[in-house]
Amino acid sequence: MLVLSVLPLVFLVGGTSASFQHFGIPSSNAIVNVRVFNVGNFTLFNEAPAVIAPVVPGHETLTVPTFSFLVEHNTTQKRILWDMGIRKDTQNAVPLYAEGFAAGFIAVEQTGDIASQLEAGGIPLTSIESVIWSHAHFDHIGDMSTFPNTTGLVFGADTNTSTFPEFPNATLQASDLTGHIITKIDFSHANLTFSGLKAIDYFGDGSFYLLDTPGHLAGHMTALARVTPTSFITLGGDTFHHVGEARPRPAFQKNFPCPAHLLEETKTSVSTEFFWSPNSSLGSFDILSRAQQFFSISDHPDSFYADPVISQVSLEKVATFDADPDFFVLVAHDASVVGALPYFPASLNGWKASKLKESTAWSFVDKTNPAFALGTV
Ligand SMILES: *[C@@H]1O[C@H](CO)[C@@H](O)[C@H](O)[C@H]1NC(C)=O
Ligand SMILES: *[C@@H]1O[C@H](CO)[C@@H](O)[C@H](O)[C@H]1NC(C)=O
Ligand SMILES: *[C@@H]1O[C@H](CO)[C@@H](O)[C@H](O)[C@H]1NC(C)=O
Ligand SMILES: *[C@@H]1O[C@H](CO)[C@@H](O)[C@H](O)[C@H]1NC(C)=O
Ligand SMILES: *[C@@H]1O[C@H](CO)[C@@H](O)[C@H](O)[C@H]1NC(C)=O
Ligand SMILES: *[C@@H]1O[C@H](CO)[C@@H](O)[C@H](O)[C@H]1NC(C)=O
Ligand SMILES: *[C@@H]1O[C@H](CO)[C@@H](O)[C@H](O)[C@H]1NC(C)=O
Ligand SMILES: [Zn+2]
């Protein structure tokens, strides 16, 4: 009986081993089309200690992209937007952030907000059925007032919906919420679990799931988009900010071998004062024997992660996807891939066939990559 029940799955995926099934993800032929915008880059001056540990001297300031994803359901043509990036008029953000922009702690470089980028790309805003926020921080919520009231708003049920000015330190204000039908995703009713993460089937056909990844901010979610019957894009939001918080791990090393030129370059570019591996010696780093991620989540008093311990657990679970060949994991601020992604109007769906993961997975250890933070250059 066991053999009989396993065989159809094997045939379904063309006889190749499909590791997504080991995560508890049901089989389906339903897919979505995923396209990415970099809404803008922003620089956080001297804030790296709030994001990663350790911080190698010279890498205290971070410049990161803000990704927004247009997700189109293949059969119904429904369009949703996963995250929105930063609003254009930063002076009108809630004081918690507007003061940071005004004081120059955060510098934003963007040509237009996501609404104007969609319209310029021929996507009418009225065609966006819903916006989904991974979480309610300024660099993900955009400006909902730029969207028509026909666009719904979806976020995690644990999101703190207190608004400024009633709450002086709130992350939201009335204009972020009013005029849109709001759907709160409540994972207490979830009946699916993928790699230890509670999951909700958004369209009900296995094409797009929302995953409960708490820790960074109350209500934080991750999305899992099926882009072919057997390959996925994991939209990680701020589950982690730097891919060195997830890489490398033994399974990642095994599935995505480090390119030879980077094995050689990192011997001298990676600081052996800050990073260790069994086969390293002082001044000569060995990346092959590194069995854990380079960075951990900041537990600094001013950490960007509301709960660093819970964040680390969510990260460990999402990192199991990152180590697997069936999943391309993209967090909202992955600076390592900023020059390598096929942006809108191109589709990300072909990431596996085009070997995008193989060609970018180790970019962050290359000293010429914008995400490099492993040694003094
Ligand atoms: C963000 O930075 C990348 C890499 O430096 C650059 O190619 C891109 O044009 C920038 N995007 C914006 C919106 O400024
Ligand atoms: C649906 O997916 C198929 C297979 O990837 C693709 O050929 C087709 O263009 C898609 N349809 C739409 C409307 O996106
Ligand atoms: C949506 O906006 C239109 C145009 O501004 C307005 O006429 C309509 O009453 C609004 N509908 C809702 C449900 O707010
Ligand atoms: C808002 O944050 C500031 C700075 O952290 C703090 O001093 C103040 O007590 C907070 N106000 C409220 C109402 O929580
Ligand atoms: C929600 O946010 C407000 C503003 O920062 C804060 O005063 C309040 O304590 C928060 N509520 C919860 C349940 O964390
Ligand atoms: C799981 O939950 C979904 C959505 O609530 C529901 O449609 C489905 O029937 C449930 N499945 C099982 C096996 O309980
Ligand atoms: C360290 O290098 C030795 C010799 O090349 C090798 O046998 C061993 O497996 C390496 N250790 C690890 C942890 O990779
Ligand atoms: Zn963010």
Sign of CA dihedral 86, 214, 194, 184: negative
Protein residue with least CA distance to atom 10, ligand 1: 41
pLDDT at position 155:
98
The total of other beta-carbon atoms located within 10 Å of residue 226's CB is 27
Using CA atoms of 144, 149, 153, 159 in order, give the dihedral in degrees to the nearest 10.
Answer: 60
Lowest mean pLDDT among 47-61, 97-111, 253-267, 284-298: 97-111
Cα(135) to centroid of ligand 5, in Å? 15
* pTM exceeds 0.75 for this model: yes
In whole angstroms, give the CA distance from residue 292 to residue 353: 28
Cα(124) to centroid of ligand 6, in Å? 33
Protein residue with least CA distance to atom 9, ligand 2: 74
Atom of ligand 2 lying closest to residue 72 CA: 14
Residues 245-299: pLDDT tens digits?
A: 999 999 999 999 999 999 999 999 999 999 999 999 999 999 999 999 999 999 9
Q: In the chain, what percentage of residues exceed pLDDT 70? A: 95
Q: Does residue 13 surpass a pLDDT of 70?
A: no
Q: Which residue reads 């059969």 in tokens?
A: 75
Residues 115-146: pLDDT tens digits?
A: 999 999 999 999 999 999 999 999 999 999 99
Strand, helix or coil for residue 376: coil
In whole angstroms, give the CA distance from residue 333 to residue 68: 10
Q: Which residue reads 């993900």 in tokens?
A: 140
Cα(140) to centroid of ligand 4, in Å? 22
Please give the C-alpha separations between residue 320 and each of 158, 214, 316, 325, 330, in angstroms, as whole numbers: 25, 16, 7, 10, 13
The total of other beta-carbon atoms located within 10 Å of residue 208's CB is 27
Atom of ligand 4 lying closest to residue 167 CA: 13
Atom of ligand 2 lying closest to residue 31 CA: 2
Read off the tokens for 65: 């992209």
Bridge partners for 223 per DSSP: 210, 235
pLDDT at position 174:
97
Q: Which of 149, 175, 180 has most ligand 3 atoms within 8 Å of CB, for mutation? A: 149
Cα(149) to centroid of ligand 3, in Å? 6
pLDDT band for position 319 (50/70/90)?
A: very high
Q: Does residue 179 surpass a pLDDT of 70?
A: yes
Over residues 21-33, the mean pLDDT reads: 96
Residues 211-235: pLDDT tens digits?
A: 999 999 999 999 999 999 999 999 9
Protein residue with least CA distance to atom 2, ligand 7: 279
Q: Does residue 4 surpass a pLDDT of 50?
A: no
- In 3D space, the residue among 26, 5, 70, 36 whose CA is nearest the CA of residue 230 turns out to be 26
Instruction: Note residues around ion ligand 8 (Cβ under 5 angstroms).
Output: 139, 238
The total of other beta-carbon atoms located within 10 Å of residue 264's CB is 11
Q: Starting from the CA of residue 83, give the closest ligand.
A: 8
Residues 331-351: pLDDT tens digits?
A: 999 999 999 999 999 999 999
Cα(18) to centroid of ligand 6, in Å? 24
Residues 157-169: pLDDT tens digits?
A: 999 999 999 999 9
Q: Does residue 73 surpass a pLDDT of 60?
A: yes
pLDDT at position 259:
97
Q: Does residue 361 surpass a pLDDT of 70?
A: yes
Q: Does residue 189 surpass a pLDDT of 80?
A: yes
Q: Does residue 358 surpass a pLDDT of 60?
A: yes
Task: State whether the beta carbon of 163 lies less than 6 angstroms from ligand 5.
Answer: no
In whole angstroms, give the CA distance from residue 355 to residue 357: 5
Atom of ligand 5 lying closest to residue 167 CA: 4
Q: Is the peptide bond before 124 cis (omega within 30 degrees of 0)?
A: no
Cα(153) to centroid of ligand 6, in Å? 22
Query: What rounded mean pLDDT belongs to the chain?
Result: 94
pLDDT at position 17:
56
